Structure 1
Amino acid sequence: MDNVYALHKCRVLRVYDLTDEEKLFLFRFEDPEMAESWTFVPGQFVQIAMPGVGEVPISICSSPMRKGFFELCIKKVGRVTKKIHELKPGDFVGVRGPYGNGFPMKEFEDGDVLLVAAGIGMVPLRSVFLYTVDNRWKFGNITVINSARYGNKLLFRKELEAMRDIAEAENIRIIQTTTRDPDWSGRVGRAHEHIKYANTDPKKAHVAVCGPPKSYHDIFEKLLEMGYDPRKIYVTLERRMKCGVGKCGHCIVGTSTFLKYICIDGPVFGYYDIISTPGLI
């Protein structure tokens, strides 16, 4: 039987400061066989282990189309992530995964795609976005809504700005908005307030949402008001995950007769799972 806790050695290739709290890391598998065979679905996560310190679950934020490499955006919030932020190109980490259920990208094909990110929600949704760009011919119109309190907190802001010309040519609409930045010269308002500007057809669009749980009510309300199919609305959650394989019970939500493990049943859930499972949001 395979050891679910087995780690694979990965080399840090690049470290890039996104904000004063988040860094973007590029990793490569050292084992050629692992580099060739390893893949994932947008929305899945890995466990990053720092020897002698611990490990943390982190969503993959790159496209699965590039074999042997993957990117993680990591926020410095605790002991393990603080140590990860000290890594330099050439250093090594232990990785296991990928884990969890990702977005059903096959179902997304042949229709429009709307991505709604608030706060650090752009991290897992970047994987979805880059995958749709890498497979552009499989999808219809695409809109990305990226929102944060301040302009300097908009994750992947420069990357999305740099894609403006390509986006226009490819029927991709990129909306970046802030809610509290007096120096911001672009769009203002919360993510749900900009759904009306999307170039997606509610009748044939799939929606991926990620952000603070308190933002979901307004986002859901606006999507349903505009006619988006609730069966095609998906949310990715990362709350309370720890071991990644359903052994520790740390991320169990629901009731005694209706339990869900976020790390196994999720982190991507459909709209009806979200509204019917106590504790998911």
Structure 2
Amino acid sequence: MTTPLSAFAEIADRYDGFIFDVWGTLYDGGNAFPEALETVRALAGMEKKLLVLSNSPRIPAIVGERLTGIGFDLAWFSEIVTSGGMVADIVGGRRDAEAAALGERVLWLGRGRFPDTVPDGSFTVVESVEEADWILNAGPDGPESRLEDYESQLSGSVARNLPMICANPDKSVIHGGARHICAGAMAERYEVMGGAVRYFGKPYPEIFARCLDRIGLPAERVLVVGDNLETDILGANRTGIDSLLLGCGIHAAALAETADAGEGLDALTTSHGARPTYFSDVLAW
């Protein structure tokens, strides 16, 4: 059963480490949530171990620059872990058998927006499906891009049995009140069409295992904080980590549709097959 919270301070002493999502949790895509900034500062002052976990297709250094720019002190965090950083490490470095088996030529979707998902020189970037050995799906080319814009490339890639690496399992984000597609939506469509996808990021256990290793704590002493049932909460459930779902993010509209907040949350968690330990409207101390 999910426990409602009125203030984060109620549970701060129960855990030694906290893993924070970024978009929808620490900031709205443009600015930091003031309450979240206060909460993270307070936890750092308690000498808690804090880690940022993002499904961004960018490497950690870029996400760190963004956090610094909106008021967070990187000294508060033990580390920043991103799905893009894992792709850069594992795929870019060909560190496992699946990565080593990828061909040399890659069709890189979203390269203009996300230019660092694999290191320069790791692969030869090509411009057409016909030239490619595999697809790196970092996301759409622009915030206004639609799934339909990629139908031809995806169908052609399926026809050639090209494997896809997805560097961001998120299907969408809310920015300025508008919903924009992410790489996860493109990957989901590719799978529906018959394509094979390897995902890096939440909710897959590999990235949560990396976080626990980097934060240096057992799962039972850590809390995951995020706004997305499909990624943050499901990933925490799969890894045996307690979690806090925030209602101000990706599910805000769905939660607002039900007059009874408890019933709305229960229906939403059931439909997504993920259940948080706690629920709060915002990340407020």
TM-score tier after normalising by the smaller chain length: 0.3 to 0.5
Greater share of helix residues, 1 or 2?
2
Q: Does 1 or 2 have the higher relative contact order (CA < 8 Å, sep 6+)?
A: 2
With the length of structure 2 as denominator, give the TM-score of the two structures. 0.37
